[in-house]
A and B are shown apart, each in its own frame.
Chain A
Amino acid sequence: MSQDNIDILQRALKREKSARKAAEKILEEKSLELYNTAQKLKEANEKLELLLEEKTSQLQGVFENINDAYLIMDLEGNALKMNDAAIDLFGYDINKEKLNVIDLIYKPDANYAFKSFRELRKKGAFTDYTARIITKDKSIKWVHINASVIYDKKKLPIAAQGIIRDITEAKRTASLIEDQKRKLAKSNDELQEYAHIVSHDLKSPLRSINALVSWIKEDNEGKLDAASLQNFTLIETTLEKMEQLISDVLNYSSIGSEEKEKINVDLEIVVKDLAKILYVPGHVSINILGPLPKVKGYKTKLQQLFQNLISNAIKFIDKDKGCIDIEYKVLKNYYQFSVKDNGMGIDKQYHKKIFKIFHTLNESKNSTGIGLSIVKKIVDLHDGEIWLESEPKVGTTFFFTLKK
């Protein structure tokens, strides 16, 4: 072999060596890359597994901890899985015995149950199923159920799940409340009847006394002296006051018993009409400032409310020129009304007392002490409040609110 040939071979060998080295290096890098990728994948996988575990345990938690009963059944109604709440509710434990939900159906509700079951299969879910079930110990319970079908990967139905709430207690409470409401309405009616009868029985003797007094007067005309005649007049006045008192008590007890439905009442019309019917002495003027609003309420009661406040104001005006201002302002949920007079005023210590029944500040013939308690009762009936501001000798303003 010539020296040239040897050189050529050695160069070739060298080239090959360095090429291999380069290749080895590339391989090394690639394998490192691959290792890293595998490492990352492994981490991701671990994370996913962790997540899955977490979700599973969350679900398990939900399954075990919800207060409502939870049940999974196959499409024939055989219970596959149920939580403790379900075991408690139904009395069956599927770890020990078989349970088909049909066993739970309370006979009278069967039609409804099967209808809902068909709906579940057809539409994939039902909500707000409310019916009775019969538990293992033969007790009947009211339940509320929401249910849905569970599908496999190919979207084929494989099972159904339901959340069952025991509403027996709620049902019982509701029916108890209904019962109480009926009883209350009945006893209210009876009380109303009673008030009418009592008022009749109390008024009858008054009429009799009045008749007897007039007869004595008639039959002894010219024989009675002035003092006796005066006393007879006092008897008659007392009788009138007594009768007014009875009427007012009856009236007070009747509030809220006759009109059943609240309607839209135009207070502008109500108050204007009142100003026409009420006896307003010449020296008193009633000013309605601005058109009054419409409110939802009982018309005759609202009329009585204004009537009592206005006639009260008239009664206690002691000035030469009386002035009664009626106005209102708009609040968020209420209208606030005011009836202002320039009468004798009411001392602060009586501001609360005057709304109590039979509390009258003035012993006068036409004051029975019921007017303002009727006012208060009517305001209460309309979810409002009433109060007053007053300065003795200057005047009084009654404020009250009515719900919009």
Chain B
Amino acid sequence: MKNNLKVLLIEDDMIEVMKFNRVVTSLDLKCNTVEANNGEEALNILEKKDELPDIILLDLNMPKINGMEFLSILKEDKSLQHIPAIILTTSNNRKDLLECYKLGIAGYILKPLKYEDYVTKIKKLLAYWSINELIKT
């Protein structure tokens, strides 16, 4: 890995954020995480055009601007729409899945019950995006 992967994690659940950070720390993954508690916060972070993340991990059920609304705004914005967005959610609602892919997502990952399964999934996710060529700003 040449550079650290810059990840914007949009998640309202404190323990979910802790889980993600713990995986990154314990596996010593090269990853810089910026946290946002909801879509609104995330949009504020994305205002800084010179510090855009490489990928966005997005929860769907959130207060204020929810995942789907955030995704629509992101994909409308010419300066942001290129950033790969990966959904990280509990909802295996087929309607949500279809809607997300229609809006334009780079992946849809279900949060598993077991922490060890979660570790495996996040490890693979970050490994995959680390070997991808990304549009750096």
Contact = CB atoms under 8 A, between A and B. Distances in A.
Nearest to A196: B93
A243 B90 CA distance: 11
Categorize the interface residue count of chain B: 20 to 34
Interface string A199-242: 11101101110111111000000000000000000001001100
B15 A211 contact: yes
Contact of A211 (B19, B89, B93, B94): B19
Given A200-B61, A212-B15, A207 B94 contact: no
Interface residues of A, number: 21
A51 B29 CA distance: 107
Nearest to B118: A211
B48 interface: no
11 contacts: A197-B61, A201-B61, A203-B90, A204-B16, A211-B15, A211-B18, A211-B115, A211-B118, A212-B15, A243-B113, A258-B94
A212 B114 CA distance: 10
B113 A239 contact: yes
Interface of B: 13, 15-16, 18-19, 22, 61, 89-91, 93-94, 96, 111-116, 118
Contact of A240 (B16, B61, B113): B113
Interface residues of chain A: helix, strand, loop or mixed (majority): helix
Contact of A207 (B61, B90, B116): B90
Contacts of A212: 15
Interface in A173-198: 196-197
Given A211-B115, A214-B116, A258-B94, 19 more contacts: A196-B91, A199-B90, A200-B61, A200-B89, A200-B90, A204-B16, A204-B90, A207-B16, A207-B112, A207-B118, A210-B113, A211-B15, A211-B19, A211-B22, A211-B118, A212-B15, A213-B115, A215-B115, A239-B113
Contacts of B116: 214
B94 A210 contact: no
Contacts of B90: 199-200, 203-204, 207
Interface of A: 196-197, 199-201, 203-204, 206-208, 210-215, 236, 239-240, 243, 258
B91 A208 contact: no
A208 B15 contact: yes
Nearest to A217: B115
A210 B115 contact: yes
B114 A208 contact: no
A330 to B, nearest CB: 35
Contacts of B96: 196
A390 to B, nearest CB: 34
A197 B90 CA distance: 10
Nearest to B116: A214
Given A211-B118, A212-B15, A258-B94, A206 B22 contact: no
B113 A203 contact: yes
Contacts of B91: 196, 200
Contacts of B15: 207-208, 211-212
Contacts of A206: 113
A134 B52 CA distance: 69
A215 B26 CA distance: 11
Nearest to B13: A204
A211 B112 CA distance: 10
A387 to B, nearest CB: 33
Nearest to A258: B94
B96 to A, nearest CB: 8
B22 A215 contact: yes
Contacts of A213: 115
A184 B63 CA distance: 28
5 closest A-B pairs by CB: A208-B15, A214-B115, A211-B115, A196-B93, A200-B90
